[in-house]
Amino acid sequence: MFTTSCEKDLGELNLDPTRVTEVGLRLMLPEIISQSMYSEAGTGGRAIGIVMQQFFGLDAQQLAYNDYVMGEELMNNYWRTGLYAGALRSCDVMIKQATVEGASFYSGVGKIVMANQYGIATSWFGDIPMSQALLGTENLKPAYDSQQSVYSSVISMLDEAISLLGSASGYAGGDVIYDGDAGAWIKTARALKARFLMHQAKRTPGNYAAALSEIAGSYAASSEQAIFTFGTALTANYPLAKFGIGRPGTLGFHPQFAAMLEGDPRGDLFYIDDGSGNLLYYDPAFPFTKNDASIPMISFAELKFMEAEAQLAGGGDASAALKAGIMASMELSGADMVAGEAYADAVIAGGIDVETIITEAYKGYYGHAFGSTWANYRRTGFPVLTPASNGVNGLNPSGVVPQRFLYVSSETQTNSENVAAARAAQGGGLLDAKLWAFE
């Protein structure tokens, strides 16, 4: 029998008919969107919240994070399963399959999500693998691209997405944000272009004008922002809710941030006093800690805060954009809009400068855009923060507010030569080493 069997038949005997070998595009997209949205408010978001003095560690690892003891293990899961083997890998698979099938809608959206993930990651780590990433066994030790080149590739990828979506085809479901509205995704791509142009504005002042051009073609109202709503189940809820439920009493709300919110209508929606002197960030009814939180990929508020800053840099009047940003944040937070408008008018009446805009963005990004808060601080120095008194350690020798995350242990163990080269190119790669965009 074996001498007469052919190789093809034996190969078919090894195929498991119960295992799916290819997944439809409409099934890929929800996973890609949910994974990317989850990652931003997971470990990285909480750690940035502590660094930026919005959160305060009360127990467990969070106590060490108060003093900037943040080692290679901190972001290991994010890097491995959230980013490279997670959202980026899934995007790559979907884009390639969509290209073969001629479904440009999925290719375009995949490039938007991928570009945003790469842009966020480079703002957190600096140099990262990109041009040699996602090659699987073809290259298990990818070289690290410079932050400058990553940002350039991110902008190019968003341009490619806009082009693909301009003549989108092949939509068959799975878009849990816009239900197949290619025009809405184009506006999101332009908003993200503005975000990453602004990240580099300290290096390239001309980016202010470029960002304004992108903003002009993006969201005209908060109803157009890319909102993802998490589920109520513990397997599908927002990470800040998940952490509050699973690790109660370990993460608090920073007293300095609470003081900044005095008289702000959003304050009562951000933290509570537990009666023993601790301020807690978690409440199941709060907009950014409830299970089914509605979180923007990039918010209309962020768009307007960027617009205000860019207008001010060009000598223009930033008051209307700043007020719109504050009001959009009030709306997203569920604050009283009448009280919110009174608050916004008082801010504008006090005079507008870069510190005013960035400080209002600091409040407006709480709960959903921690990475943008950190990027703003590193390039402008606002809001003014006092580094932790015990923040001098071997990972942060100068004791400054951390400027980056360390490269993760999985990379230092398996891709050590490229990690060493990336560290050497970035002043040693410790927490206090400034990244290219923010120098």
DSSP letters spanning 98-121: HHHHT-HHHHHHHHHHHHHHHHHH
What are the structure tokens assigned to 249, written together?
A: 């009493």
- The model's pTM: 0.94
> How far from 1 is each of 4, 9, 12, 13, CA to CA, in Å?
5, 12, 16, 14
Q: Which of 364, 390, 417 is the last residue of a domain?
A: 364
Query: Would residue 273 count as lying in a domain?
Result: no
Residues 357 and 421 in one domain: no
What are the structure tokens assigned to 79, written together?
A: 């890097």
On the question of pLDDT at 361 being above 90, the answer is: yes
pLDDT tens digits along 403-432 = 999 999 999 999 999 999 999 999 999 999
Query: Would residue 378 count as lying in a domain?
Result: no
39 strand-pairing partners: none
Cα of first residue to Cα of last residue in the chain, in angstroms, is 72
What type of residue sits at position 189?
A
Closest CA to 76 of 403, 394, 413: 413
- The domain of 347 spans 300-364
Residues 58 and 173 in one domain: yes
Q: Pick the residue with more confidence: 329 or 276? A: 329
Query: Confidence band (pLDDT; 50, 70, 90) for 171?
Result: very high
Q: What pLDDT does 17 receive? A: 52
Residue for token digits 């142009």? 197
On the question of pLDDT at 95 being above 80, the answer is: yes
On the question of pLDDT at 14 being above 90, the answer is: no
Beta strands in 209-276 (DSSP E): 227-229, 251-253, 272-273
Count up the domains in the chain and report the number: 2
Task: Find how far residue 191's CA is from the centre of its chain.
Answer: 13
Let me know: does 122 contact 109? Beta carbons within 8 Å: no
Residues 175 and 44 in one domain: yes
Residues 86 and 208 in one domain: yes
Give the CATH number of the domain where residue 149 resides: 1.25.40.390
> What is the rounded average pLDDT for all residues in the chain?
94
Residues 93 and 164 in one domain: yes
> Mean per-residue pLDDT for 57-84?
96
Q: In what order do the strands lie in the sheet with 55-57?
A: 55-57, 251-253, 279-280, 272-273
Residues 208 and 88 in one domain: yes
